[in-house]
Protein backbone atom coordinates (compact mmCIF):
# COMPACT_ATOMS: atom_id res chain seq x y z
CA UNK A 1 0.00 0.00 0.00
CA UNK A 2 1.41 3.39 -0.96
CA UNK A 3 1.68 6.36 1.38
CA UNK A 4 -0.93 8.24 -0.60
CA UNK A 5 -3.38 5.34 -0.36
CA UNK A 6 -2.80 5.08 3.39
CA UNK A 7 -3.64 8.75 3.77
CA UNK A 8 -7.13 8.34 2.35
CA UNK A 9 -7.90 4.83 3.66
CA UNK A 10 -10.32 4.79 6.58
CA UNK A 11 -10.33 1.07 7.41
CA UNK A 12 -6.65 0.58 8.23
CA UNK A 13 -5.51 -1.97 10.82
CA UNK A 14 -4.95 0.43 13.69
CA UNK A 15 -8.26 2.22 13.18
CA UNK A 16 -10.10 -1.11 13.19
CA UNK A 17 -8.35 -2.17 16.40
CA UNK A 18 -9.24 1.10 18.13
CA UNK A 19 -12.88 0.63 17.10
CA UNK A 20 -12.78 -2.86 18.64
CA UNK A 21 -11.14 -1.55 21.82
CA UNK A 22 -13.91 1.05 22.12
CA UNK A 23 -16.53 -1.67 21.63
CA UNK A 24 -15.08 -3.75 24.48
CA UNK A 25 -14.79 -0.73 26.79
CA UNK A 26 -18.39 0.25 26.11
CA UNK A 27 -19.86 -3.25 26.52
CA UNK A 28 -18.02 -3.63 29.82
CA UNK A 29 -19.30 -0.26 31.02
CA UNK A 30 -22.93 -1.02 30.11
CA UNK A 31 -22.77 -4.41 31.82
CA UNK A 32 -22.43 -2.45 35.05
CA UNK A 33 -24.47 0.72 34.47
CA UNK A 34 -28.08 -0.54 34.40
CA UNK A 35 -27.52 -3.20 37.06
CA UNK A 36 -25.88 -0.91 39.62
CA UNK A 37 -29.01 1.01 40.78
CA UNK A 38 -30.82 -2.27 41.40
CA UNK A 39 -27.83 -3.63 43.28
CA UNK A 40 -27.55 -0.50 45.42
CA UNK A 41 -31.26 -0.50 46.30
CA UNK A 42 -30.97 -4.20 47.19
CA UNK A 43 -28.51 -3.10 49.91
CA UNK A 44 -31.34 -1.14 51.53
CA UNK A 45 -30.66 2.44 50.42
CA UNK A 46 -33.22 4.83 48.91
CA UNK A 47 -33.73 5.43 45.20
CA UNK A 48 -32.38 8.97 45.60
CA UNK A 49 -29.13 7.68 47.12
CA UNK A 50 -28.90 5.05 44.39
CA UNK A 51 -29.23 7.86 41.84
CA UNK A 52 -26.47 9.82 43.56
CA UNK A 53 -24.10 6.82 43.46
CA UNK A 54 -24.97 6.21 39.83
CA UNK A 55 -24.62 9.88 38.91
CA UNK A 56 -21.39 10.51 40.82
CA UNK A 57 -19.65 8.48 38.12
CA UNK A 58 -20.24 11.20 35.54
CA UNK A 59 -19.52 13.99 38.02
CA UNK A 60 -16.11 12.46 38.75
CA UNK A 61 -15.53 12.04 35.02
CA UNK A 62 -16.48 15.70 34.57
CA UNK A 63 -13.82 16.82 37.06
CA UNK A 64 -11.19 14.74 35.25
CA UNK A 65 -12.31 15.42 31.69
CA UNK A 66 -10.72 18.88 31.17
CA UNK A 67 -7.34 17.38 32.00
CA UNK A 68 -7.77 14.41 29.67
CA UNK A 69 -7.60 16.56 26.56
CA UNK A 70 -4.40 18.39 27.42
CA UNK A 71 -2.79 15.12 28.57
CA UNK A 72 -3.84 13.42 25.33
CA UNK A 73 -2.26 16.27 23.35
CA UNK A 74 1.04 15.89 25.24
CA UNK A 75 1.42 12.19 26.09
CA UNK A 76 1.18 9.14 23.86
CA UNK A 77 -2.53 8.18 23.72
CA UNK A 78 -1.56 4.50 23.79
CA UNK A 79 0.32 4.98 27.06
CA UNK A 80 -2.66 6.75 28.62
CA UNK A 81 -5.01 3.96 27.54
CA UNK A 82 -2.59 1.38 28.92
CA UNK A 83 -3.32 2.81 32.38
CA UNK A 84 -6.96 3.89 32.00
CA UNK A 85 -8.36 0.64 30.61
CA UNK A 86 -6.85 -1.62 33.31
CA UNK A 87 -8.15 0.82 35.96
CA UNK A 88 -11.65 0.48 34.51
CA UNK A 89 -11.37 -3.30 34.31
CA UNK A 90 -10.20 -3.70 37.90
CA UNK A 91 -12.85 -1.34 39.27
CA UNK A 92 -15.56 -3.13 37.30
CA UNK A 93 -14.54 -6.50 38.71
CA UNK A 94 -14.39 -5.11 42.24
CA UNK A 95 -17.92 -3.66 42.49
CA UNK A 96 -19.42 -6.85 43.84
CA UNK A 97 -16.64 -8.02 46.14
CA UNK A 98 -17.91 -6.26 49.26
CA UNK A 99 -21.60 -5.27 49.75
CA UNK A 100 -21.01 -1.84 51.29
CA UNK A 101 -21.70 1.69 50.15
CA UNK A 102 -18.18 3.03 50.94
CA UNK A 103 -16.65 0.24 48.82
CA UNK A 104 -19.01 0.98 45.95
CA UNK A 105 -18.14 4.67 46.10
CA UNK A 106 -14.41 3.90 46.01
CA UNK A 107 -14.83 1.60 43.00
CA UNK A 108 -17.05 4.18 41.34
CA UNK A 109 -14.39 6.86 41.68
CA UNK A 110 -11.62 4.70 40.19
CA UNK A 111 -13.93 3.51 37.41
CA UNK A 112 -14.94 7.09 36.58
CA UNK A 113 -11.35 8.34 36.36
CA UNK A 114 -10.39 5.50 34.04
CA UNK A 115 -13.55 6.05 32.00
CA UNK A 116 -12.89 9.79 31.63
CA UNK A 117 -9.40 9.29 30.25
CA UNK A 118 -10.27 6.27 28.10
CA UNK A 119 -13.38 7.90 26.60
CA UNK A 120 -11.52 11.01 25.47
CA UNK A 121 -8.28 9.36 24.44
CA UNK A 122 -9.90 6.59 22.40
CA UNK A 123 -11.47 9.24 20.16
CA UNK A 124 -8.22 11.19 19.91
CA UNK A 125 -6.26 8.00 19.21
CA UNK A 126 -8.75 6.64 16.68
CA UNK A 127 -9.20 9.97 14.87
CA UNK A 128 -5.43 10.19 14.32
CA UNK A 129 -5.79 7.28 11.89
CA UNK A 130 -8.70 8.94 10.02
CA UNK A 131 -8.25 11.17 6.92
CA UNK A 132 -9.50 14.68 7.75
CA UNK A 133 -11.88 14.73 4.78
CA UNK A 134 -13.60 11.61 6.20
CA UNK A 135 -13.63 12.75 9.83
CA UNK A 136 -17.42 12.76 10.19
CA UNK A 137 -17.66 9.22 8.87
CA UNK A 138 -14.66 8.07 10.91
CA UNK A 139 -15.98 9.46 14.20
CA UNK A 140 -19.37 7.96 13.35
CA UNK A 141 -17.81 4.50 13.15
CA UNK A 142 -15.73 5.07 16.27
CA UNK A 143 -19.05 5.67 18.01
CA UNK A 144 -20.06 2.14 17.08
CA UNK A 145 -18.38 1.15 20.32
CA UNK A 146 -21.09 2.94 22.26
CA UNK A 147 -23.73 1.38 20.04
CA UNK A 148 -22.43 -2.14 20.66
CA UNK A 149 -22.20 -1.35 24.34
CA UNK A 150 -25.80 -0.13 24.39
CA UNK A 151 -26.97 -3.17 22.44
CA UNK A 152 -25.13 -5.90 24.28
CA UNK A 153 -24.04 -4.52 27.64
CA UNK A 154 -27.36 -3.86 29.43
CA UNK A 155 -28.96 -7.12 28.27
CA UNK A 156 -25.81 -9.05 29.13
CA UNK A 157 -25.44 -7.40 32.52
CA UNK A 158 -29.10 -7.82 33.46
CA UNK A 159 -29.05 -11.44 32.25
CA UNK A 160 -25.94 -12.23 34.32
CA UNK A 161 -27.38 -10.43 37.35
CA UNK A 162 -30.66 -12.33 37.05
CA UNK A 163 -29.13 -15.75 36.51
CA UNK A 164 -25.88 -15.62 38.50
CA UNK A 165 -26.09 -12.49 40.66
CA UNK A 166 -24.79 -8.94 40.44
CA UNK A 167 -21.26 -9.99 41.41
CA UNK A 168 -20.88 -12.09 38.27
CA UNK A 169 -22.29 -9.28 36.09
CA UNK A 170 -19.72 -6.83 37.44
CA UNK A 171 -16.83 -9.27 36.96
CA UNK A 172 -17.95 -10.03 33.40
CA UNK A 173 -17.98 -6.30 32.62
CA UNK A 174 -14.46 -5.88 33.97
CA UNK A 175 -13.12 -8.82 31.98
CA UNK A 176 -14.60 -7.47 28.74
CA UNK A 177 -12.81 -4.16 29.30
CA UNK A 178 -9.66 -6.21 29.96
CA UNK A 179 -10.09 -7.78 26.52
CA UNK A 180 -10.10 -4.28 25.05
CA UNK A 181 -6.78 -3.56 26.75
CA UNK A 182 -5.34 -6.74 25.20
CA UNK A 183 -6.40 -5.58 21.72
CA UNK A 184 -4.82 -2.19 22.40
CA UNK A 185 -1.38 -3.80 22.68
CA UNK A 186 -1.50 -4.64 18.96
CA UNK A 187 -1.85 -1.00 17.85
CA UNK A 188 1.02 1.32 17.00
CA UNK A 189 2.01 4.59 18.63
CA UNK A 190 0.33 7.66 17.15
CA UNK A 191 2.66 9.58 14.81
CA UNK A 192 2.10 13.02 16.31
CA UNK A 193 5.48 14.34 17.40
CA UNK A 194 4.30 17.94 17.06
CA UNK A 195 2.25 17.70 20.25
CA UNK A 196 5.17 16.78 22.48
CA UNK A 197 6.08 20.36 23.37
CA UNK A 198 5.83 20.93 27.10
CA UNK A 199 4.27 24.19 28.29
CA UNK A 200 2.60 25.35 31.47
CA UNK A 201 -1.08 24.48 31.62
CA UNK A 202 -3.69 27.22 31.65
CA UNK A 203 -7.47 27.25 31.25
CA UNK A 204 -7.34 27.56 27.45
CA UNK A 205 -5.44 24.28 27.29
CA UNK A 206 -8.11 22.50 29.34
CA UNK A 207 -11.31 23.81 27.77
CA UNK A 208 -12.04 25.50 24.44
CA UNK A 209 -14.42 28.35 25.28
CA UNK A 210 -15.60 28.60 21.65
CA UNK A 211 -16.86 24.99 21.81
CA UNK A 212 -18.85 25.34 25.05
CA UNK A 213 -22.20 26.08 23.28
CA UNK A 214 -21.81 22.95 21.13
CA UNK A 215 -20.85 20.92 24.20
CA UNK A 216 -23.90 22.20 26.11
CA UNK A 217 -26.34 21.37 23.31
CA UNK A 218 -24.85 17.92 22.88
CA UNK A 219 -25.07 17.37 26.63
CA UNK A 220 -28.86 17.63 26.54
CA UNK A 221 -28.93 14.25 24.79
CA UNK A 222 -26.78 12.81 27.58
CA UNK A 223 -29.34 13.98 30.14
CA UNK A 224 -31.91 11.64 28.63
CA UNK A 225 -29.28 8.91 28.24
CA UNK A 226 -28.55 9.03 31.96
CA UNK A 227 -32.24 8.75 32.81
CA UNK A 228 -32.75 5.83 30.45
CA UNK A 229 -29.69 3.84 31.51
CA UNK A 230 -30.49 4.32 35.21
CA UNK A 231 -34.28 4.04 35.38
CA UNK A 232 -35.71 2.45 32.23
CA UNK A 233 -35.75 -1.07 33.67
CA UNK A 234 -37.55 0.22 36.79
CA UNK A 235 -40.01 2.22 34.65
CA UNK A 236 -40.79 -0.94 32.67
CA UNK A 237 -41.37 -2.87 35.91
CA UNK A 238 -43.88 -0.26 37.08
CA UNK A 239 -45.63 -0.41 33.69
CA UNK A 240 -45.74 -4.21 33.85
CA UNK A 241 -43.56 -4.64 30.75
CA UNK A 242 -41.20 -7.62 30.57
CA UNK A 243 -38.16 -8.06 28.31
CA UNK A 244 -37.07 -4.41 28.43
CA UNK A 245 -33.50 -5.45 27.58
CA UNK A 246 -34.75 -5.69 23.97
CA UNK A 247 -35.04 -1.88 23.99
CA UNK A 248 -31.25 -1.57 24.04
CA UNK A 249 -30.82 -4.14 21.29
CA UNK A 250 -33.24 -2.33 18.96
CA UNK A 251 -31.58 0.97 19.87
CA UNK A 252 -28.20 -0.37 18.84
CA UNK A 253 -29.29 -2.07 15.62
CA UNK A 254 -30.97 1.15 14.49
CA UNK A 255 -27.86 3.15 15.34
CA UNK A 256 -25.76 0.81 13.22
CA UNK A 257 -27.69 2.17 10.25
CA UNK A 258 -28.10 5.75 11.38
CA UNK A 259 -24.61 6.77 12.52
CA UNK A 260 -22.65 5.97 9.33
CA UNK A 261 -25.39 7.43 7.14
CA UNK A 262 -25.58 10.69 9.05
CA UNK A 263 -21.79 10.79 9.33
CA UNK A 264 -21.67 11.06 5.54
CA UNK A 265 -24.56 13.57 5.52
CA UNK A 266 -22.70 15.64 8.09
CA UNK A 267 -19.55 15.59 5.95
CA UNK A 268 -21.53 16.85 2.94
CA UNK A 269 -24.28 19.04 4.39
CA UNK A 270 -23.13 20.18 7.82
CA UNK A 271 -24.30 20.09 11.44
CA UNK A 272 -27.84 21.44 11.00
CA UNK A 273 -28.92 18.60 8.71
CA UNK A 274 -28.04 16.07 11.41
CA UNK A 275 -28.85 17.92 14.63
CA UNK A 276 -32.37 19.19 13.88
CA UNK A 277 -33.82 15.75 13.00
CA UNK A 278 -31.93 14.41 16.01
CA UNK A 279 -33.59 16.78 18.47
CA UNK A 280 -37.06 16.11 17.04
CA UNK A 281 -36.76 12.32 16.97
CA UNK A 282 -35.35 12.10 20.51
CA UNK A 283 -38.03 14.39 21.90
CA UNK A 284 -40.81 12.24 20.42
CA UNK A 285 -39.06 9.08 21.58
CA UNK A 286 -38.98 10.30 25.18
CA UNK A 287 -42.68 11.15 25.10
CA UNK A 288 -43.41 7.61 23.93
CA UNK A 289 -41.21 6.16 26.69
CA UNK A 290 -43.07 8.27 29.25
CA UNK A 291 -46.42 6.79 28.24
CA UNK A 292 -45.42 3.31 27.01
CA UNK A 293 -47.42 0.43 28.44
CA UNK A 294 -46.22 -2.36 26.17
CA UNK A 295 -42.92 -3.64 24.83
CA UNK A 296 -43.72 -2.66 21.20
CA UNK A 297 -44.21 0.96 22.31
CA UNK A 298 -40.81 0.92 24.03
CA UNK A 299 -39.25 -0.53 20.89
CA UNK A 300 -40.74 2.23 18.71
CA UNK A 301 -39.23 4.69 21.14
CA UNK A 302 -35.89 2.89 20.85
CA UNK A 303 -35.89 3.42 17.07
CA UNK A 304 -36.62 7.13 17.48
CA UNK A 305 -34.02 7.59 20.22
CA UNK A 306 -31.43 5.79 18.09
CA UNK A 307 -32.23 7.98 15.12
CA UNK A 308 -32.04 11.13 17.22
CA UNK A 309 -28.86 10.42 19.13
CA UNK A 310 -27.18 8.62 16.25
CA UNK A 311 -27.69 11.63 14.01
CA UNK A 312 -27.01 14.50 16.41
CA UNK A 313 -24.28 13.47 18.83
CA UNK A 314 -21.61 12.39 16.29
CA UNK A 315 -22.36 15.58 14.34
CA UNK A 316 -21.71 17.72 17.41
CA UNK A 317 -18.50 15.80 18.09
CA UNK A 318 -17.30 16.23 14.51
CA UNK A 319 -18.07 19.96 14.66
CA UNK A 320 -15.92 20.24 17.79
CA UNK A 321 -13.00 18.30 16.29
CA UNK A 322 -13.08 20.29 13.05
CA UNK A 323 -13.23 23.63 14.86
CA UNK A 324 -9.72 23.29 16.30
CA UNK A 325 -6.33 22.43 14.73
CA UNK A 326 -5.21 18.79 14.57
CA UNK A 327 -2.79 19.24 17.47
CA UNK A 328 -5.71 20.28 19.70
CA UNK A 329 -7.95 17.28 19.10
CA UNK A 330 -7.58 16.31 22.73
CA UNK A 331 -8.91 19.66 23.92
CA UNK A 332 -11.70 19.54 21.34
CA UNK A 333 -12.75 16.06 22.46
CA UNK A 334 -12.57 16.78 26.19
CA UNK A 335 -14.62 19.98 25.73
CA UNK A 336 -17.20 18.03 23.76
CA UNK A 337 -17.62 15.68 26.73
CA UNK A 338 -17.85 18.35 29.44
CA UNK A 339 -21.62 18.84 29.38
CA UNK A 340 -22.19 15.21 28.45
CA UNK A 341 -20.67 14.40 31.84
CA UNK A 342 -22.57 17.20 33.59
CA UNK A 343 -25.98 16.15 32.33
CA UNK A 344 -25.41 12.41 32.46
CA UNK A 345 -24.09 12.81 36.00
CA UNK A 346 -26.78 15.07 37.41
CA UNK A 347 -29.51 13.38 35.35
CA UNK A 348 -29.85 10.28 37.57
CA UNK A 349 -29.55 12.42 40.71
CA UNK A 350 -32.28 14.81 39.61
CA UNK A 351 -34.27 11.96 38.10
CA UNK A 352 -34.41 9.99 41.35
CA UNK A 353 -35.71 13.03 43.18
CA UNK A 354 -38.32 13.81 40.51
CA UNK A 355 -39.53 10.20 40.42
CA UNK A 356 -39.83 10.13 44.20
CA UNK A 357 -41.59 13.51 44.36
CA UNK A 358 -44.13 12.52 41.69
CA UNK A 359 -44.85 9.08 43.14
CA UNK A 360 -48.43 7.99 43.61
CA UNK A 361 -48.78 6.70 47.14
CA UNK A 362 -46.10 4.07 47.70
CA UNK A 363 -45.67 3.46 43.95
CA UNK A 364 -42.88 5.37 42.23
CA UNK A 365 -43.82 6.51 38.72
CA UNK A 366 -41.38 7.59 36.02
CA UNK A 367 -43.83 9.05 33.48
CA UNK A 368 -43.37 12.69 34.64
CA UNK A 369 -39.61 12.20 34.61
CA UNK A 370 -39.43 11.21 30.94
CA UNK A 371 -41.99 13.87 29.99
CA UNK A 372 -39.75 16.52 31.54
CA UNK A 373 -36.75 15.06 29.66
CA UNK A 374 -38.68 15.47 26.39
CA UNK A 375 -39.31 19.11 27.27
CA UNK A 376 -35.59 19.63 27.90
CA UNK A 377 -34.76 18.44 24.38
CA UNK A 378 -37.52 20.58 22.85
CA UNK A 379 -35.99 23.62 24.54
CA UNK A 380 -32.60 22.47 23.28
CA UNK A 381 -33.81 22.53 19.68
CA UNK A 382 -34.91 26.15 20.07
CA UNK A 383 -31.55 27.10 21.60
CA UNK A 384 -29.68 25.30 18.82
CA UNK A 385 -31.54 27.17 16.08
CA UNK A 386 -30.93 30.49 17.82
CA UNK A 387 -27.22 29.67 18.18
CA UNK A 388 -26.81 28.64 14.54
CA UNK A 389 -28.55 31.81 13.39
CA UNK A 390 -26.25 33.94 15.57
CA UNK A 391 -23.18 32.15 14.19
CA UNK A 392 -24.31 32.69 10.60
CA UNK A 393 -24.49 36.42 11.24
CA UNK A 394 -20.81 36.22 12.23
CA UNK A 395 -19.97 34.32 9.05
CA UNK A 396 -19.43 31.01 10.91
CA UNK A 397 -20.98 27.81 9.61
CA UNK A 398 -20.74 24.24 10.86
Asked if residue 196 is part of any domain, the answer here is: no
Does 204 score more than 60 pLDDT? no
Asked if residue 278 is part of any domain, the answer here is: yes
Asked if residue 398 is part of any domain, the answer here is: no
Asked if residue 233 is part of any domain, the answer here is: yes
Asked if residue 351 is part of any domain, the answer here is: yes
pLDDT of residue 321: 81
Highest mean pLDDT among 3-7, 298-302, 308-312: 298-302
- For 88-118, how does the pLDDT look when each residue is reduced to its tens digit (9 = 90+)? 999 888 887 777 788 888 888 898 889 888 8
Is 398 in contact with 136 (CB distance < 8 Å)? Answer: no
C-alpha distance from residue 223 to each of 13, 41, 119 (Å): 35, 22, 17
Asked if residue 111 is part of any domain, the answer here is: yes
Asked if residue 202 is part of any domain, the answer here is: no
Q: Which of 79-88, 247-256, 269-278 has the lowest mean pLDDT?
A: 247-256
Highest mean pLDDT among 55-59, 88-92, 370-374: 370-374
- State how many domains the chain has: 1
**Structural domain harbouring 224:** 3-190+207-393
Asked if residue 75 is part of any domain, the answer here is: yes
Confidence of residue 191 (pLDDT cuts 50, 70, 90): low
**Residue 227 maps to which CATH number?**
1.20.1250.20
- pTM for this entry: 0.69
pLDDT of residue 6: 45
Does 265 score more than 70 pLDDT? yes
Q: Which of 10-14, 58-62, 111-115, 120-124 has the lowest mean pLDDT?
A: 58-62
Amino acid sequence: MTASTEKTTLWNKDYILVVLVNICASIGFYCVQPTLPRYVTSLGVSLTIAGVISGMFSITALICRPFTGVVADRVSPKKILSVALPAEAIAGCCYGLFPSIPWLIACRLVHAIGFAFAGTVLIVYGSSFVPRERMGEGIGYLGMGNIAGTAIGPSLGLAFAGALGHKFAFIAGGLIIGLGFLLLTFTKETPRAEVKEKRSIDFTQLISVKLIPLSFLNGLFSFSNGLISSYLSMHADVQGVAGIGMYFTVLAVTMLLVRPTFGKINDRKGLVFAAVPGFIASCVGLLIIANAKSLPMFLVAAVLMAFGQGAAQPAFQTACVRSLPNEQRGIATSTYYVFADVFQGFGPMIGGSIATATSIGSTITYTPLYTIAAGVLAAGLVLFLLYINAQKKKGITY
